[in-house]
Chain A
């Protein structure tokens, strides 16, 4: 039990669908992160929330939209994705130096 949960664990969606990934942490941490892990590539940082303040990453396409309604929950809203967006999406939370990761959502875009 890592304290960081992600739902769903697996998701298959069409290019015209809209879906959301959910991350929840019960560790009392103030920073939360979305990472993307594609095959044979390093983990890529997508978004950071620090005390619910969003950090913009200009290199992330607008078809990915994060939301952090409170310090325990983080969402990633997806719409009109492309097949190359298929990847493992990992959520993490942080207090101090260590980041605690969730199990990830395996996303397949068809």
Chain B
């Protein structure tokens, strides 16, 4: 079953404006973590921001902030003052403690399908 849902396949935003990328998740774990990654056309996944399920404050990293609404199981990414270099795919991901039932493998990430963001001049 899909655990991470990103409902926006593509988004447009004008330079210097703010944009919100949506992410909802499903888990029965009490302790979990939520991540946002950026993937430019070069392919590399770049870590942007992390939110732990017990963190009381919404995470912020520079122009990135995470709007964490635990009861709604949503973890939307807000990018303020968009720049042309922000054009990329953005992935929401959730940390799973045990990705495989027959192992003690440590943490792995479960990703959404991503949102393509295009920043226009």
Chain A interfacial positions (CB closer than 8 Å to B): 2, 31, 33, 40-43, 45, 48, 50, 53, 55-57, 88, 90, 92, 94, 97-104, 106
Number of B residues near A (Cβ < 8 Å) is 30
Q: A48-B106, A56-B102, A98-B50 are in contact. Are A104 and B43 (CB under 8 A)?
A: yes
Question: Which of B33, B104, B107, B113 is in CB contact (< 8 Å) with A41?
Answer: B113
| CB <8 Å contact, B100 and A97 | no
User: Quick check: A55 and B43 within 8 Å, CB to CB?
Assistant: no
Chain B residues engaging chain A, CB cutoff 8 angstroms: 4, 33, 35, 37, 42-47, 50, 52, 91, 93, 95, 99-100, 102-114
Q: Which residue of B lies closest to A41 (CB)?
A: B113
Contact residues in A for B106 (Cβ distance below 8 Å): 31, 48, 50, 94
